[in-house]
Amino acid sequence: MKYLPVFLPSKHLWPIPGEDGSRLSGQQHVAGSSSAAGEERRRRGAITIYELENFQGKKCELTEELPNITEKELEKVGSIQVESGPWVGYEQASCKGEQFVFEKGEYPRWDSWTNSRRSDSITSLRPIKVV
33-48 residue pLDDT tens? 455 555 554 556 899 9
| pTM of the predicted protein model | 0.67
- What strand order describes the sheet that includes 56-62? 56-62, 46-52, 79-84, 105-107
The H or E element that residue 35 is part of is helix 35-44
Average pLDDT, the chain: 76
Domains defined along the chain, listed by start:
6-130 (2.60.20.10)
Alpha helix stretches (DSSP H) within the chain: 35-44
User: 37 and 26 in contact (C-beta within 8 Å)?
Assistant: no
User: 123 and 68 in contact (C-beta within 8 Å)?
Assistant: yes
Mean of pLDDT values over 64-73: 96
